[in-house]
Amino acid sequence: MSELRPENWVDNYTDYLYSLAFLKTSSREEAEDLVQDTFLSAFRGREGFRGDSSEKTWLTSILKHKLVDYYRKKNAEQPLTDYIQATASSFQETVFDESNFGRFKTLIKPNYFSKSGEDFLLGEEFRKILDDCILKMPAKLRSVFMAKYIQDEESDHICKEHGITSSNYWVVIHRSKILLRACLEKQGFMGTT
């Protein structure tokens, strides 16, 4: 059973929680505020800690809830479904070549990592570029992408938390993957096959 040690939280978990918050918000100030709110909420709620998980997992869970609240407030003006509809044509024009039967533009090829791609995934240089590419995604796409691929949340939970339908969820995931692939290709990490 895990035990809480609030006196060590700042030293042990600030960098990890800040990285996660920054990837989700792209704002240093917002990330710092969210981490502070996480520590404050955790300290206030420490009596409710049952010890079923590690301190880090518990604090990460609190931060995830803070991030959901952050996006709910931030995105109250424009739901994700409106964003998808508003950007559909510009996304199509940017990624697909209509004169070539709607295929990917030549700079955006539907390639996948080869078996040697594992070396890239393990490399620090690749990780930095991957983080940069994720940060370049529009915030509305990035939050869903991060929930699925970084936080490993279930699609039903993501749809509920972001107030989107299953079909909108898959549109967001598809667009996010295309943007990520295009960014990685520009950095030279995905070869042609």
Question: Which CATH number fits the domain that encloses residue 149?
Answer: 1.10.10.10
Q: Note down pLDDT in tens along the chain; length 193 residues.
A: 568 888 989 999 999 899 888 888 888 898 999 999 999 999 998 888 887 888 888 899 999 889 888 877 766 555 666 767 766 666 666 666 566 555 555 554 444 444 445 554 556 677 788 888 888 888 888 889 988 888 888 999 999 888 888 888 999 999 899 888 888 888 776 554 4
Out of 74, 92, 119, pick the residue that ends a domain.
Answer: 74
Q: How many domains does the chain have?
A: 2
Q: Tell me, yes or no, whether 170 lies in a domain.
A: yes
In angstroms, what is the C-alpha Rg of the chain?
19
Report pLDDT for 62: 92
Note down the domain range covering 63. Answer: 6-74
Q: How far apart are CA 92 and CA 29, in angstroms?
A: 33
Report pLDDT for 63: 92
Report pLDDT for 131: 84
Report pLDDT for 108: 45
Q: Tell me, yes or no, whether 31 lies in a domain.
A: yes
Report pLDDT for 113: 43
Residues 62 and 151 both lie in one domain: no
Region class of 71: left (phi > 0), else alpha (psi between -120 and 50), else beta: alpha
Residues 92 and 171 both lie in one domain: yes
Q: Tell me, yes or no, whether 193 lies in a domain.
A: no
Q: How far apart are CA 142 and CA 176, in angstroms?
A: 7
Q: How far apart are CA 161 and CA 71, in angstroms?
A: 9
Report pLDDT for 132: 85
HEC-encoded secondary structure of the chain: CCCCCHHHHHHHHHHHHHHHHHHHHCCHHHHHHHHHHHHHHHHHCHHHCCCCCCHHHHHHHHHHHHHHHHHHHHCCCCCHHHHHHHHHHHHHHHHEEHHHCCEECCCCCCCCCCCCHHHHHHCHHHHHHHHHHHHHCCHHHHHHHHHHHCCCCCHHHHHHHHCCCHHHHHHHHHHHHHHHHHHHHHCCCCCCC
